[in-house]
A and B are shown apart, each in its own frame.
Chain A
Amino acid sequence: MPEMKATRDGFGEALLELGRENKNIVVLSGDLEDSTRAEYFKKEFPERFFNLGIAEQDVIGTAAGMSMDGLVPFACSFAVFLTNRAYDILRLTVCYNNRNVKIIGSHAGLTVGPDGATAQCLEDFAIMRVLPNMTVLCPVDALEAKKATRAMAETAGPIYMRLSRPPFPVITKETDIFEIGRANVIREGKDVTVIACGFMVSEALRAAELLEKDNIGARVINMHTIKPIDQAAIIKSAQETGAVVTAEEHQMNGGLGSAVAEVLVRNIPVPVEMVAVNDSFGESGESEELLKKHKLTDVDIANAAKKALNRKKRS
Chain B
Amino acid sequence: MSKKSIDIAELKEKARQFRKEDLEIITRAGSGHPGGSLSAVEILTSLYYYKMNHRPKEPDWPLRDRFIMSKGHACPIVYVILANCGYFPKEELKTFRKFNSRLQGHIYIDVPGVEHATGSLGQGLSVANGIALGARIRNVSYNTYCLLGDGEIQEGSVWEAAMTAAHHKIDTVCAIIDCNKIQQNGPVIEIKNEEPIMDKWRAFGWHAIEVDGHNFEEIIAALDEFETVKGKPTLIKANTVKGKGVSFMEGQSKWHGKAPKKEELAAALNELGF
> Is there an interface contact between B117 and A92, defined as CB atoms closer than 8 Å?
yes
B206 CB to nearest chain A CB (Å) = 15
Task: From the candidates B125, B126, B137, name the one contacting A48 in the complex (CB within 8 A).
Answer: B137
> Is there an interface contact between B131 and A58, defined as CB atoms closer than 8 Å?
no
Among the stretches A65-73, A197-205, A207-215, A293-301, the one at the interface with B is A65-73
Q: What total of chain B residues lie within 8 Å of the partner, measured CB to CB?
A: 31
B161 at the interface (CB under 8 A from A): yes
In the bound complex, CA of A65 to CA of B125 (Å): 9
A92-B119, A92-B123 as given contacts; A65 in contact with B164, CB under 8 Å: no
Q: Is the interface of A mostly helix, strand, loop or mixed?
A: helix
Interface residues of B in 96-114 (CB under 8 A from A): 109
In the bound complex, CA of A66 to CA of B133 (Å): 7
> Is there an interface contact between B123 and A69, defined as CB atoms closer than 8 Å?
no
A47-B137, A58-B164, A61-B161 as given contacts; A68 in contact with B130, CB under 8 Å: yes
> Is there an interface contact between B131 and A69, defined as CB atoms closer than 8 Å?
yes
> Is there an interface contact between B135 and A69, defined as CB atoms closer than 8 Å?
yes
A93 at the interface (CB under 8 A from B): yes
Task: From the candidates B120, B140, B160, B164, name the one contacting A92 in the complex (CB within 8 A).
Answer: B120
- Give the tally of cross-chain contacts (CB within 8 A): 102
Give every chain A residue within 8 A of B90 (Cβ-Cβ): none
A57 at the interface (CB under 8 A from B): yes
For B134, give the chain A residue with the smallest CB separation: A66
B170 CB to nearest chain A CB (Å) = 10
Interface size class, chain A: 20 to 34
B146 CB to nearest chain A CB (Å) = 10
B116 at the interface (CB under 8 A from A): yes
B29 at the interface (CB under 8 A from A): no
> Is there an interface contact between A69 and B117, defined as CB atoms closer than 8 Å?
no
A55 at the interface (CB under 8 A from B): yes
Contact pattern, A 39-58, Cβ under 8 Å of B = 1, otherwise 0: 00000000110101101011
> Is there an interface contact between A62 and B133, defined as CB atoms closer than 8 Å?
yes
A274 at the interface (CB under 8 A from B): no
In the bound complex, CA of A26 to CA of B116 (Å): 20
Task: From the candidates B116, B119, B137, B164, name the one contacting A68 in the complex (CB within 8 A).
Answer: B116
Give every chain B residue within 8 A of A58 (Cβ-Cβ): 126, 129, 157, 160-161, 163-164
Task: From the candidates A47, A53, A62, name the one contacting B126 in the complex (CB within 8 A).
Answer: A62
Interface residues of B in 53-106 (CB under 8 A from A): 62
> Is there an interface contact between B119 and A65, defined as CB atoms closer than 8 Å?
no
B168 at the interface (CB under 8 A from A): yes
Interface residues of B in 106-158 (CB under 8 A from A): 109, 115-120, 122-123, 125-135, 137-138, 140, 156-157
In the bound complex, CA of A89 to CA of B157 (Å): 10
> Is there an interface contact between A65 and B160, defined as CB atoms closer than 8 Å?
no
In the bound complex, CA of A58 to CA of B157 (Å): 6
In the bound complex, CA of A58 to CA of B156 (Å): 10
The winner among A53, A57, A73 for most chain B CB atoms within 10 A is A57
5 A-B pairs besides A57-B126, A57-B156, A96-B109 with CB distance below 8 A are A62-B133, A67-B134, A91-B120, A96-B117, A97-B109
| Interface residues in chain B, defined as those with a beta carbon under 8 Å from any beta carbon in chain A | 62, 109, 115-120, 122-123, 125-135, 137-138, 140, 156-157, 160-161, 163-164, 168
What are the 3 A-B residue pairs with the smallest beta carbon separation, nearest first? A65-B130, A61-B126, A58-B160
